[in-house]
Structure 1
Amino acid sequence: MQSFRLNGSRVLEVELRGDAVRAASGAMIAYTGDVAFKSAGMGGGDGIRAAIKRRATGESVSLMRCSGKGTVWFAKDAMEIVVIDLAGDTLKVESEQLLVVSDSLRTDVAFAGLRGASSGQGLFTTTVTGSGPLALLSAGGPPIALEVSPQYPLVVDPQAFVASRGQLNQTFVTDVSWRNLVGEGSGEAFSLRFDGTGVVYIQPEER
């Protein structure tokens, strides 16, 4: 299997050994060896069904497939990078935060809930499932991993949310008032609440 290694905090180095990864389009900054690049398609490399779901939900992801033998370096907008190894579990992530995904992992689209009972607007998220490494992006500094336990649920600004994993139940909290105190009172104020057991990754800078 390919090897993921951070070169500093903003560059990911991937060693390909005759296998493949999928990366955010335009994220390759250098490579050496016999490596081929091609678009992973609208479904992100997971077939026509994934492409249809992404078009219907608006949860788009633009990936390219990098395959062969060699070393590839990836970066995007000088953002911080974190590498996560999945072991048969599922990660829920904002599609724009994906940098590189091992080809052994499967991406899909999942219903994330309603943005408030009053609006009834459906929101969707990208899921990554299987065993293998992936790399996520974080704006404004290194990502922060926050533990969630049954005794301590977590409420997160959706603009800072990057990803979550574990046995977590995600709901929307619409009765928040803190946004008015920081000049973010326009529109419907809502936050993400996580209950259960797991980890939520957030970034220091809002999207």
Structure 2
Amino acid sequence: MSKYTIDQFINQTKQDESENEYFELETPRMLEVNLDGQVWAKAGSMISYNGNIKFEREGILEHGLGKMFKKAFSGEGSSLMKANGNGKLYLADEGKKITIFQLQNESITVNGNDLLAFEPGVNWDIQLMKKMAGMMSGGLFNVTLEGQGMVAITCHYEPLTLMVTPDQPVITDPHATVAWSGHLEPEFQTDVTLKSFFGRGSGESIQMKFSGEGFVIVQPFEEVYYSQSNG
């Protein structure tokens, strides 16, 4: 349906007041945080809020010197903001589809560009893909989250989960890779045949290889990353 009266449209799209979970999907592409305290979110992801909420950019030394240096290398894409207070906070990221995970003493590694929000009790650390630095422009870094609490990630369109087994490694395009089991450590490889086939210096010729046991989440879309010098 694309034609509505004003009342029909309001009834169809208004927020659901019955929801009261800490993280709720208000729509498949908008996260509602029922805030009573604090939440970490991707900088620039706030769409709307009500109540008494204050926003603060992540302090340069907030998480210690080690993370500060990692963030300097990984660029602005990893910037977080802290929301404190009470009310309803709505978050979104370029219309990407949102998935909420309830970690139960588990760990998941997320491409830094696809991390939307997480509870303050979840432990996290930025993992730099050092071997990728000479292969691709900036933007490829990831965040490992572990412990107990909710984590919201985003992806373009519907995600697909691929299972990794000892006898069946999974190879992915880095630009389409959203998240994976926290204990998996991808290796990077270059396929010369693909490089010549696509006629590119990067892109499909660079692959992530996951070996062991776990899962990898991919999306039907290749994100374009930019280094700080490219904007």
Aligned to 1:30: 48
Amino-acid identity (%): 32
Aligned to 1:75: 92
RMSD: 2.7
- Higher helix content, 1 or 2: 2
Query: Residues 1-207 of structure 1: matches in 2 within 5 Å?
Result: 3-17=22-36, 19-42=37-60, 45-56=62-73, 58=75, 60-112=77-129, 114-115=131-132, 124-139=141-156, 141-175=157-191, 177-178=193-194, 181=197, 184-188=198-202, 189-207=205-223
TM-score, normalised by the number of residues in structure 2: 0.75
Q: Please state how far the C-alpha of 1:159 moved relative to its aligned partner.
A: 0.8
3-state SS, counterpart of residue 68 of structure 2 = helix
Q: Please state how far the C-alpha of 1:71 moved relative to its aligned partner.
A: 1.3
Give the 4+ runs in structure 1 shifted more than 6 A: none
3-state SS, counterpart of residue 78 of structure 2 = coil
User: Partners in 2 of 1:74 and 1:144 — Cα distance?
Assistant: 23
User: Partners in 1 of 2:112 and 2:185 — Cα distance?
Assistant: 19
- Higher strand content, 1 or 2: 1
Structure 1: tracts of 5 or more residues without a match: none
Q: Which has the larger radius of gyration?
A: 2
Change (3 A) 1:198 1:109: same
Q: How many residues align?
A: 199
Q: Please state how far the C-alpha of 1:57 moved relative to its aligned partner.
A: 5.0
User: Partners in 2 of 1:204 and 1:173 — Cα distance?
Assistant: 21
Change (3 A) 1:200 1:75: same
Change (3 A) 1:191 1:47: same
Structure 2: tracts of 5 or more residues without a match: 1-20, 224-231
Q: Which moved more, 1:151-160 or 1:169-178?
A: 169-178
Change (3 A) 1:124 1:11: closer
Change (3 A) 1:16 1:57: closer
